[in-house]
Structure 1
Amino acid sequence: MGDVRKKGVTTFDLKMMGIVLMFIDHVHQMFANMGAPMWLDWFGRPVATLFFFVSVEGFSHTRNKSKYLFRLLIGFWGMNVGSSIVQKFFSLGDMALMNNIFADLFIGALAMYGIDWLVRFKNEKKISYLFIGLLCLVAPLGLSAVAFAGVSSGNLVLINLAGVIPMTFFSENTLMVYLIPIMYLLRKNKNWQCVAIAVVAVLYFMRAPGLAFSMNTQWMMIFSIIPILLYNGEKGKSMKSFFYIFYPAHIWILYIIASLIYNR
């Protein structure tokens, strides 16, 4: 029989869509002080939500969830080290390289991991499962408080913890990362996942409706609902390693190019 495929978009398609939109957004980020138009930022607003959705799908189907978490942690460390090296040799005004989506994805995956342990506790009533589950959920928040205490006291050890351990309030999307475990709980109903995305988007919009097309654009994440509703549940082509390479590489390359132009 021939290769029969469902209509709609696959996980591969969602990843590629996110990568293209992310690239456009980061062009704006790196070249904003050289005149890159503000509207380029709009393309990037649905990206995090798309990757959150893909993360839920990936975590739900992976055979080894501990390995999945460790891979994201390695990505987080690699991104931080690479960005530090790039900034040793290049500068772009007062702009620091803070991008690290691996922190967001790790915190979200850790929360999903915690939910799995809480389900095991519900079924098996082992108190250790409850402890592990709650720890996975609250640790990134608690460690954020520790790092903030370091900022207040000037303790460099506590401050630098944020570069070693992913923390909620030091991630790119802060509390929005918890949209990941919410979508994980709703993973059997794509429509409800989209409702959750829409609710968060409306909350962002209501923060400053008058700046909805300038400084307050995160509400545009709502447009991620369109490709998610078209998702057909299929994995599509495999590109497990590509994102881990492309994400840091394109940010570093854009930063270096922008630095060379800015400082010429």
Structure 2
Amino acid sequence: MTSTKLKMIALATMFIDHYGHFIPDSPDWMRWVGRVAAPIFIYCVVIGYKHTSNRKRYLTRLGIAAVGMSFLNLFINFHVYYSDLNRLYIEMNFFSTLFLIVFLIMLLEKKKVRFLIGLFVWQFVSFFIFGSLEVTGLLNSPMAIFTIQTSGNLLVVDGGLLMILLGILFYFAKENKWKVTISYGFYCLILFYLVRRWGWIREGLFSHLFGFFDFQWMMIFALPLLLLYNGKKGIGLKYFFYVFYPLHIAVLWYIGMVLSQ
């Protein structure tokens, strides 16, 4: 199976998941199906980084997509703010997660120790700032959400720190099927344990570390698909994925808002 086919499967399951998220009274199984989307996209972006002819351009493209998605969220959230549509803000921006994964991999590859230390320090500083804003109630606004999404903090991106670590894990697995199987299986097992122990806590630091559903363990079902990857790119369609992600979120959000009135 080519990486293009893998991404098409991830795209379809992501759409089902987000349909279940935005459209009222959707069945629970739609969210279950969506658990396989994120690991497939992460796996494909790591593969894409390894095989691209221009890694800086690859990173830049993801960065532009992340900022663009943040602006789309800002536009929609301002509409929510002024229309008071139950204040259902959009905070989805998986482009930011993918960008930070590739950025960290690039820093590790090039052994940019000073940049890694600076990024590490920034995590503490920015998270302290966001924590202070949350205590004062200033975090619940469109501009605050935009600032968070563009901050580069690993804890507050879509999926959180554990999704970033999954990308690093895939990078070091080096597309070796045995390494992918063992490392990803162990990762899902640890995630299952963490969610069972702390996953229901939705306040403070735990909400950022373990902000998953109780059924997040279902992401293990992505493993057979990852093992079917044949090392080939396929027809590409890279810009299709960059356009589809923000477009489908905007459309489903609007439909969900109309149906919930």
Query: TM over 0.5, yes or no?
Result: yes
* 8 Å Cα contact 2:3-2:232 kept in structure 1: yes
The alignment covers a number of residue pairs equal to 241
Q: Residue 174 of structure 1: CA displacement?
A: 0.8
Q: Does 1:112 align with 2:105?
A: yes
Letter aligned with residue 159 of structure 2: N
Q: Check 1:59–1:139 CA distance in 2 against 1; reply closer, same or farther (3 A cut).
A: farther
Q: Residue 257 of structure 1: CA displacement?
A: 0.9
1:208 aligns with one of 196, 200, 213? 196
Q: Name the structure 2 match of 1:151.
A: 134
Q: Does 1:99 align with 2:92?
A: yes
Q: Name the structure 1 match of 2:205.
A: none
Q: Name the structure 2 match of 1:247.
A: 245
3-state SS, counterpart of residue 155 of structure 2: helix
1:132 aligns with one of 94, 115, 120? 115
Q: Structure 1: where are the runs of 5+ without partners?
A: 1-8, 119-128
Q: Name the structure 1 match of 2:12.
A: 20
Q: Residue 110 of structure 1: CA displacement?
A: 1.1
Q: Name the structure 2 match of 1:125.
A: none
Counterparts of 1:221-240 in structure 2 under 5 Å? Answer: 221-240=219-238
Say which is worse superposed, 84-93 or 248-257, in terms of deviation: 84-93
Cα deviations by residue, 1:30-83 (Å, 9 ceiling, x for unpaired): 02xx21111110111011100110011001011222222221111111111112
Cα deviations by residue, 1:101-141 (Å, 9 ceiling, x for unpaired): 011101111111111112xxxxxxxxxx4323544566556
Q: Name the structure 1 match of 2:177.
A: 190
* 8 Å Cα contact 2:73-2:146 kept in structure 1: no
Q: Check 1:244–1:141 CA distance in 2 against 1; reply closer, same or farther (3 A cut).
A: farther
Q: Check 1:217–1:92 CA distance in 2 against 1; reply closer, same or farther (3 A cut).
A: farther
Q: Residue 149 of structure 1: CA displacement?
A: 4.1
Q: CA RMSD in A?
A: 2.7
Counterparts of 1:51-66 in structure 2 under 5 Å? Answer: 51-66=41-56
Say which is worse superposed, 165-174 or 86-95, in terms of deviation: 86-95
1:70 aligns with one of 42, 60, 72? 60
The higher radius of gyration belongs to 1
Q: Does 1:174 align with 2:160?
A: yes
Say which is worse superposed, 96-105 or 59-68, in terms of deviation: 59-68
Q: Check 1:139–1:232 CA distance in 2 against 1; reply closer, same or farther (3 A cut).
A: farther
Q: Check 1:159–1:49 CA distance in 2 against 1; reply closer, same or farther (3 A cut).
A: closer
Q: Residue 152 of structure 1: CA displacement?
A: 4.1
Q: Check 1:216–1:155 CA distance in 2 against 1; reply closer, same or farther (3 A cut).
A: closer
In 1, Cα distance between the equivalents of 2:78 and 2:113? 44
Counterparts of 1:71-86 in structure 2 under 5 Å? Answer: 71-86=61-76
* 8 Å Cα contact 1:147-1:161 kept in structure 2: no
Q: Check 1:161–1:97 CA distance in 2 against 1; reply closer, same or farther (3 A cut).
A: closer
Percent identity for Structure 1 against Structure 2: 28
Letter aligned with residue 33 of structure 2: F
Letter aligned with residue 165 of structure 1: S
Q: Name the structure 1 match of 2:204.
A: none
Q: Name the structure 2 match of 1:40.
A: 30
Q: Check 1:152–1:92 CA distance in 2 against 1; reply closer, same or farther (3 A cut).
A: closer
Q: Structure 2: where are the runs of 5+ without partners?
A: 200-211
Q: Check 1:255–1:160 CA distance in 2 against 1; reply closer, same or farther (3 A cut).
A: closer
Q: Name the structure 2 match of 1:10.
A: 2
